[in-house]
Amino acid sequence: MRLIRLPGLFFLFLLIASCTSQSFIQDKELSVEHKIEALLSQMTLEEKINMTHGNTKFSTAGVARLGIPDLMMSDGPHGVREEIKPDSWEPAGWTNDSASYFPTGTALSATWNPDLAYRFGQALGQEARARDKDIILGPGINIMRTPLCGRNFEYMGEDPFLVTRMVVPCIKGIQEQDVAACLKHFALNNQEFERNTINAQLSERALQEIYLPGYEAAVKDGNVFTVMSAYNKVRGAWCSENPYLLNDILKKQWQFPGIVISDWAGTHSTVEAANAGLDIEMGTNRPYNEFYFADPLLQAVKNGAVSEKTIDDKVRRILTVMYKSGIFNENRSEGSFTTQEHFDIARKVAEEAVVLLKNDHNLLPLDKKKIKSITVVGDNATRKHAAGGGSSGLKALYEITPLHGLKNKISADTKLKFAQGYKRTTKFTWNKGVLNFFDADEAEQLRKEAVAAAGESEVVIVFAGLNHDFDTEGTDRQNLVLPYQQDLLIKEICDVNPNTIVVLISGSPVEMPWHKQVPVIVQGWYAGMEAGNVFADILFGDVNPSGKLTFTFPEQLEDSPAHSLGTYPGQDLNSDYSEDILVGYRWFDTKKINPLFAFGHGLSYSSFQYSDLKLKAKISPEEGLQVSVNIRNSGDRPGYETAQLYLQDVECSVIRPDKELKAFEKVYLQPGETKNIKFNLKSKAFSFFDEKEMQWKEEPGLFKVHVGSSSRDIRLSGDVLID
């Protein structure tokens, strides 16, 4: 059926009178806006309100008589979660919901490869569609403010620019598959401790410069369809009823046309939340009709506390997202599930994520043909991580453990011995950073066995680190100490075998009191279903490492800003962000504190030389700057290098960090090959958020441009004057 385009009410009248909703919903000649208005005009208030709250744990109601289906959601962010029963958290018992398990957020960001973020997004979106989901609850981009935050592993590190570059393609990749991404957690859910009640107090400048840029880019450049409000409060108001964050910034300033979904059980009111910009309430622990956005919302509209216009706005947004996600499209993408292509993407992301932190005497890569004996130590050598960590956990189709990966790799002539070394246990307590261990005898026994085995082999590989008892939703770590007395184990192993390689499995930094003694340290992350194969590829040199840290590893916890200032975890449920804009390396650089491993650090089996830095000596305000540099692979194997550009504002009326990342480029170079890289800096890159004028401001004066291989390995610097 075709209808000629007629304006306004007459159009609506004609439309409603002359067709069934099911038919016009798909009519290609009508604009989506017209269809949405037509649908809205046929809905009762009750039907509209039904669309604004959960009707199962992970869906909201549609309006069947109008052809509007329920909206189906799933966690995120690194794979599609196991199917649970509609009304409880128990597994639904499906046998076909074992999904691809992709590397988690910290690993993805450590690739510094936006193209991989896009492919990750595509694969995730395809898996979500194949499981018939409309919204996948991810990605998560809360800035790493403290290394202790239990959910750091899900996020993308400490730098707003890096987050921006990675999150946009990830969202595009997801949404091109006819499924909505849900960007979380908006905003400042930077600690899990007291996450439901903690109140983040921070300056406008810190908000604008550090904590919001990723979200803004996701909205404006990534066109993200949905956003999840965070559990915590910001400046006294819960994020789910925070008019400044939701209405003023997100919906008005950024013109976000999509849906704000509450975090699960993160809604605290009806009228405040409805008027502050929340669109959908999820996860409340009450019968569905008693949700704040169910019967109480109906009542609030009837008594005038919330206008029907406000409800219409929410439903309009929901319908808009439904249209954009192809829900009404006959040819909606069907997605694909657990395909070889997805496994390959999981593997590729992991390959580019693993960070070689230290490689003394070029102990790595190991030579498969020469090596005769290896001892593998550690609980993480055999542990699978996919199911852990809270809401992001999933049922993986498979997960290659490190030990499995090594067995796949080594030649038949190499002897491989495994020793547990330490055991995962909950039988310990911390007393001011000191571990009280209750299984001391057993622990000693395991350690002794491992040390003995270590002494008998050519090389020892210790798979140490954390697991999802520590990197997890709902709690923060208490300190940076490796649990289960791993420090002691590593030290004793080093004492008997100088060829000790430590591979850390974690999503956040740990202290390494043994770092000087251990020649090789690798940060392996939670690297997804192919983790074990990838670690073996890296250790044996089939893959040249290219990951770079996306957050600082402090020497000790007290060195990092919130801990140095004593503002974590906050007092009386207030967390005062007094470190302000000096988050992560911005703090370490400005305060001249040496980190254990710096932001942006990551070695390769190749070496790279930087030369020919070129930039204009003088630019006018608002002109922007092009910087060009040559990078040469001076090693003997092909590899990637990520060149990073940092700006330093030398003359400024406000405090500015010593360095701020403003551009980066990952390049692949054959041995001896040189490539020229051009960085284009827009004028905003030079600016700061001026709290007096409440806008970004570019001040004239001298800037230094630093280009290097990490934030602490600057190879070339130049000056530019803004005049």
Q: Would you name the residues annotated as active-site residues?
A: 263
Query: Pairing between strand 608-614 and 500-505?
Result: unpaired
Query: What's the CA gap between 585 and 660, in Å, rounded?
Result: 9
How far apart are CB 247 and ligand BGC at their closest, in Å? Answer: 22
Give the shortest CB-80-to-ligand BGC separation in angstroms. 12
Q: Extract the tokens encoding 546.
A: 């290219």
Cβ-based nearer residue to ligand BGC, 219 or 228: 228
Q: Closer to ligand BGC at the Cβ: 76 or 296?
A: 76
The edge-to-edge listing of strands for the beta sheet with 415-419 is 355-359, 520-523, 500-505, 459-465, 373-377, 415-419
**In the bound complex, which residue of the shown chain has the CB atom lying closest to ligand BGC?**
391
Is the CB of residue 103 less than 8 Å from the CB of residue 525? yes
**Closest separation between CB of residue 189 and ligand BGC, Å?**
8
Residue entry with tokens 């965070």: 230
* Residue 88 one-letter amino acid: S
Please name the residue that has the structure tokens 């040469």.
Answer: 632
Query: Considering beta carbons, is residue 209 or 263 the nearer one to ligand BGC?
Result: 263
Using CB atoms within 10 A of its CB, is residue 202 exposed (0-12), middle (13-18) or buried (19+)? buried
SS3 assignment, position 97: coil
Torsion of CA 427, 430, 435, 436, to 10 degrees: -50
- DSSP code of residue 152: G
Measured from the CB atom, is 227 or 490 closer to ligand BGC? 227
Q: Please, what is the minimum distance in Å from the beta carbon of residue 387 to ligand BGC?
A: 14
Report d(CA 422, CA 446) in Å as an integer: 6
Provide, rounded to whole angstroms, the least separation between the CB of residue 654 and ligand BGC: 35
Q: Min. distance of Cβ 105 from ligand BGC in angstroms?
A: 12
Q: How far is the CB of 187 from ligand BGC (least distance, A)?
A: 13
Q: Which is nearer to ligand BGC, 151 or 715 (CB)?
A: 151
Task: Name the minimum Å distance from CB 321 to ligand BGC.
Answer: 17
Q: Is 417 exposed, middle or buried (0-12, 13-18, 19+ CB in 10 A)?
A: middle
d(CA 649, CA 634): 32
DSSP code string of 674-718: EEEEEEEE-GGGG-EEETTTTEEE---EEEEEEEEEETTEEEEEE
Footprint of ligand BGC (CB under 6 A):
75-76, 137, 184, 263-264, 391
HSE-up (13 A, CA, CB side) for residue 91: 12
Which of residues 232 and 380 has its CB atom nearest to ligand BGC in the complex?
232
List C-alpha distances in Å: 115 to 50, 223, 242, 543, 681. Answer: 39, 17, 34, 18, 20
The residues, ordered by sequence, that sit 6+ positions from 98 with a Cβ below 8 Å of its Cβ are 338, 395, 396, 397
* Residue among 195 and 447 whose Cβ is closer to ligand BGC: 195
b/e map 63-100, b = 16+ CB within 10 Å:
beebbbebbbbbbbbbbbbbbbeeeeeeeeeeeebbbb
Shortest Cβ 263–ligand BGC spacing (Å): 5
CA-based R_g, the chain, Å: 26
CB nearer to ligand BGC: pick between 255 and 285: 285
CA distance 678 to 614: 9
Closer to ligand BGC by Cβ: residue 227 or 371: 227
